[in-house]
Each structure stands twice: as C-alpha cells, then as structure tokens.
Amino acid sequence: MKNLIFFFLFLIALTNKINAQSLMVIKGDTINLNNLNLDNVNRLKSQLDVIEKEKSVWLNKAEKLATKSIARSAREALDDDENDKDEALKLSKSIKRAKTTNISPRKNNENAAESKSPDNKQNGKASNTTKNNEVRNNPKNTNGNAVAPEETIFGNNDLGESVTNEGQDKDLMEANVNIAVKNAEIETLKQALNYQTTALDLKNAQQRTYYLISIAVFVILSLVAFNFYRHNNIRKKANTLLAKEKELTEVERKKSDDLLLNILPLSVAQELKEKGAAPVKYYERATVLFTDFKGFTNVAEKMTPNELVQELGNCFAKFDEIVGNHNLEKIKTIGDAYMCAGGLPEANKVNPFDAVLAGLEMQAFMAEQHKSRAKEGKDYWYCRLGINSGDLIAGVIGKKKFAYDIWGDTVNTASRMESSGEVGKVNISENTYQIVKNYFECEHRGKISAKGKGEVDMYFVNRLKPEFAKDTEGIVANDLFWKSVKEN
C-alpha cells in the first residue's frame, strides 16, 4: 500500500511537470503546446517554399541586372581608356562563363581568379593583350565585317541596351533590397518552423507520456481492484469461517454451560468460570427438603435394572420440575433419596413457603403414580418427606468433579424430619411451622423422638388454608397468598 501511495505521488508530480511544460519558451517566444498541430507546420513549410521561389526570381533578376551593370562598366572603360580594354575583355569573358554556368558574375570572376595559376594569369594577360592589339589593328571579324568595340567584347549579349544607366542601378538596388527582405523572411520562417517542429515533438512526447501514464494508472487500478476483490473474498470466507467457528463455539459453550448448570447453580457456575473458585457462603435463613422412598427395595427386586432406572428417573425428573417451579435448588440424589434447598444461592425470605408448597406437590404426584400402578396390578413405592428451616453454609469444595453442597445442623434436622415422617405426608419441624402456620392447615404430632436429636416437635402440613388456595386440593397458592407472604 505504501508503494502504491508513493507511485501515485510520483504520477501527480510528473503530470504537474508536463502541464508546466505545456507553455514552451524558446528564445523568448512562448509557444502553447496545446494549440500545436501538424497543419501549422505544413503551412509554415508552404510559406517557406513560396518565399524561396520569390527569392529565386529576385536572384535571377539581380543577376541579370548585375550582368548589365558589368557590361555597362566595360563599355565605359573602353570609351575612356584604351589601356582598360584588357580588363573589359576579362569582364566579358567572366560574364560569358557566368551565363554558361548560371553563377553570379562576381563570384565566377573571383573563382576564376582563384583557380588560375600565376603562369596562367600571365598567359591570359598576354593573350588578351594580343587580342586587344588585333582588335585595335584589325577592327573586322574573321568574316571581314567591321565590329564595334562593345560588340567585340560582349558577343551576342542580350542585356537590353535600351535600359538607361540610372534605371538599371535603381532596379538592381530594388532587387538587392527584395533579396535581403526575402532572406530575412526565410530566416524567420525557418526559425518559426524549427520552433514549431521542436514544440510539436515535445507535444507528441507529452501525449505519449500521458498515454503511458493512463496505461500505468489503469493497470494499477486494475491490480488494486483485483487485490481488493481477492481480499474481500478472503475476508468474507474468513468471516464465514469465524462465524461458523463462533457458532460452533457458542453451541459448545452452551452445552458446557447447560451441563455445568445441571451440576451447579447459575450464580455459582458463573463465579467459578470467572474466578476459578466459588467460596462457601453463610445463609441465615434457608429451608432444606429431603425425600426417601419406602418399599423401594422390595419393588426394585421385582423390576429389571433398566425398568428400575427408568422409573426412578421419571420420578426424580418430576421432582426436578417441581423444585424448579418453586425457586428451589436441587442439591443431590443419593440412591433413592432426593435433597433440595430454598433460600440459596440467592438469599430470600419466602423459601419456607416454597419448600412446603413443593412438598405438597411432590406427595400429590407420588399418590397419582401409586394409584396408576395399582390399576395395572403393579406395586409402587411410597414417599416420606421432611422439611426444616434454619441457618446453614453452602458452596463448592474440592478441585475435581465440582459439586454444590450444604452443611449445618439445619440439614441434619431436615434429614430427621424425613426419617421420622410418614408416607404421603409433609413432615415439618417446629422452626418451619412457626413461619408457615398462618397460611397452611397444619397438624401437631407432638414430640417425636429423632435420632441424635431427642424428642422434638413435628407437624404435618395437610394443605393450604382455603382462602389462600387456588385449587380445591389446597396445593396451588393464589395471588392473595403471595401478596400476604411478601408483605410479611
């Protein structure tokens, strides 16, 4: 990603540089590259060709005028001084050579002068002198015709003898001026053409650079889009896998939590997961409920192990349901004994009422089961149930196979209430009776001997008082009951 950022910054800088070069300055002239095209170059070339042709015309005209001027000078020399005829002959010959080679007479004369050796110059001078003498002595040509001195020098020259000397000089001056003007125009056009060509090359280079930059940007954007698409797919797949993994983890966690909650109360399980330990707590007011089956051994002998486990499991499953509905906490089962408690792990003051209502419902369930088995001609066990209220301690001990348990004299007394009770009855202690007596119809049993306790007062709870019962059997409490219990 950093490399891409640096590359884009480089492209931006390069683009700015190219834009800055859009105005090209050549020798003080500003040329806008954006306005250049090949037509401008071709137009300048056409103008240059036209001016060069015009220059050629003026050069030819100047050459002719110069030739005439030279001829006129030669005639004047012949008229003025006989001794200058040799020079006039030289000029005449130079003019003829110039006409033959199409070179300016002045340059031809100079070239001829440079190309001749000293001997040739002397020979030429002697020859010219001889010819001059011949001309002077014999003013006739080989055919015997008399020839004027000018005609002898220039031969069949058509220089236009009718032009006056003054007009020739004026035309020659005009031709030279026009030639100079054309030279200046040609130089200007060549310079402009050079500027235009250079600028056009720069513009083409600029366009190629833009083209390459566009390709580079397209390739980079394509790579970025491809990487984004690939990373997006990878991220989606990773998110899908993470979601599935999280879902599986959540399912497994829920299974683990449910399993842990089957062993420990919710608050204890959370504390154990968060802190790794659940300290033992003291509860000032709790109620313990015990159940045990009478005749279990005799009935079990008539069942197969599978039938026994199934019947016992059905019975305890119903007890678990009843306990849960009355805000009690199942502690454990030992053989055919079932133990639960109220007022923990979250302390409350209504736990004695919850325990008594749960006991009445458990005995009602067992009575129905006994009647159902009796109709089928099968034996079924009976249930003793005891309840006691008081203080105790509860918590998890050990490091393996955690179990939530309770300890204290309240627990022992509740166990004696169960063992001293009668089948089908809810046997409660004096402590529990003093709490629930105003809401339930209770029967005092007197002082009953309890193992390790001596004689203690015990009571049977038969049902709810009618004003607090929701049903005719007096097992389900109504709203008035709960309102009165919570107020007190």
In this structure, the dihedral spanned by the alpha carbons of residues 472, 475, 478 and 482, taken in order and rounded to 10 degrees, is 160
Residue where the block lists tokens 């005609």: 151
Return the number of other C-beta atoms located less than 10 Å from residue 459's C-beta: 24
Is the pLDDT at 137 greater than 90? The verdict is no
Residue at 100 is within a domain = yes
Residue where the block lists tokens 């020079």: 87
Residue at 219 is within a domain = no
Confidence of residue 28 (pLDDT cuts 50, 70, 90): very low
Last residue of a domain, one of 212, 230, 250: 212
Mean pLDDT, residues 429-448: 93
Number of domains in the chain: 2
Residue 426's closest CA among 446, 440, 407? 440
Contact predicate 436/394, CB 8 Å: no
Confidence of residue 416 (pLDDT cuts 50, 70, 90): very high
**Per-residue burial over 164-203, b = 16 or more CB atoms within 10 Å of its CB, e = otherwise:** eeeebeebbeebeebbeebeebbeebeebbebbeebbebb
Q: What per-residue confidence (pLDDT) applies to 84?
A: 52
Residue 32: beta bridge partners? 23
Residue at 36 is within a domain = yes
Instruction: Report the alpha-carbon distance of residue 355 to residue 289 in Å, rounded.
Output: 7
Residue at 271 is within a domain = no
What are the φ/ψ torsions at residue 465 (nearest 5 degrees)?
-65, 145
Per mean pLDDT, which range of 46-50, 128-132, 168-172, 173-177 is the poorest?
Answer: 128-132
Do residues 314 and 194 share a domain?
no
Do residues 85 and 200 share a domain?
yes
Instruction: Report the alpha-carbon distance of residue 33 to residue 209 in Å, rounded.
Output: 14
Last residue of a domain, one of 212, 239, 260: 212
Most confident of 234-243, 269-278, 392-401: 234-243
Do residues 292 and 409 share a domain?
yes
Do residues 195 and 290 share a domain?
no
Return the number of other C-beta atoms located less than 10 Å from residue 148's C-beta: 10
Do residues 206 and 302 share a domain?
no
Residue 383: beta bridge partners? 293
Instruction: Report the alpha-carbon distance of residue 129 to residue 328 in Å, rounded.
Output: 160
Instruction: Report the alpha-carbon distance of residue 145 to residue 356 in Å, rounded.
Output: 176
Query: For residues 294 and 78, which has the higher predicted lDDT (pLDDT)?
Result: 294
Average pLDDT score over the chain: 75
Q: Do β-strands 281-294 and 23-26 pair in parallel, antiparallel, or remain unpaired?
A: unpaired
Do residues 326 and 460 share a domain?
yes
Do residues 323 and 432 share a domain?
yes
Instruction: Report the alpha-carbon distance of residue 66 to residue 463 in Å, rounded.
Output: 156
Q: What per-residue confidence (pLDDT) applies to 257?
A: 74
Three-state secondary structure string covering the chain: CHHHHHHHHHHHHHHHHHHHCCEEEECCEEEEHHHCCHHHHHHHHHHHHHHHHHHHHHHHHHHHHHHHHHHHHHHHHHHHCHHHHHHHHHHHHHHHHHHHHCCCHHHHHHHHHHHCCHHHHHHHHHHHHHHHHHHHHCCECCCCCECCHHHHHHCCCCCCCCCCHHHHHHHHHHHHHHHHHHHHHHHHHHHHHHHHHHHHHHHHHHHHHHHHHHHHHHHHHHHHHHHHHHHHHHHHHHHHHHHHHHHHHHHHHHHHHHHHHHHCCHHHHHHHHHHCCCCCEEEEEEEEEEEEEECHHHHHHCCCHHHHHHHHHHHHHHHHHHHHHCCCEEEEEECCEEEEEECCCCCCCCHHHHHHHHHHHHHHHHHHHHHHHHHCCCCCCEEEEEEEEEEEEEEEECCCCCEEEEECHHHHHHHHHHHCCCCCCEEEEHHHHHHHCCCEEEEEEEEEEECCCEEEEEEEEEEECHHHECCCCCCCECHHHHHHHHHC
Compute CA distances 344 → 197, 283, 328, 331, 386, whole Å.
101, 7, 8, 10, 18
Do residues 409 and 309 share a domain?
yes
Query: For residues 117 and 297, which has the higher predicted lDDT (pLDDT)?
Result: 297
Is the pLDDT at 475 greater than 80? The verdict is yes
Query: For residues 127 and 324, which has the higher predicted lDDT (pLDDT)?
Result: 324
Confidence of residue 27 (pLDDT cuts 50, 70, 90): very low
CATH number of the domain bearing residue 451:
3.30.70.1230
* Residue 462 tokens, joined: 């038969």
Task: Specify the pTM.
Answer: 0.53
Mean pLDDT, residues 301-306: 82
Mean pLDDT, residues 386-397: 91
Do residues 43 and 187 share a domain?
yes
Confidence of residue 187 (pLDDT cuts 50, 70, 90): confident
Is the pLDDT at 29 greater than 70? The verdict is no
What are the φ/ψ torsions at residue 134 (nearest 5 degrees)?
-65, -40
Q: What per-residue confidence (pLDDT) applies to 124?
A: 40
State the residue range of the domain holding 96: 12-212
Do residues 207 and 326 share a domain?
no
Residue at 247 is within a domain = no
Compute the radius of gyration of the chain from its Cα atoms: 68
Backbone φ/ψ region at 32: left (φ over 0), alpha (ψ -120 to 50), beta: beta
pLDDT digits (tens, 9 = 90+) for 441-463: 999 998 888 888 888 999 999 99
Last residue of a domain, one of 159, 191, 212: 212
Confidence of residue 203 (pLDDT cuts 50, 70, 90): confident
Do residues 322 and 457 share a domain?
yes
Do residues 185 and 100 share a domain?
yes
Residue at 482 is within a domain = yes
Q: What per-residue confidence (pLDDT) applies to 271?
A: 79
* Residue 449 tokens, joined: 């001997």
Residue at 254 is within a domain = no
Residue at 274 is within a domain = no
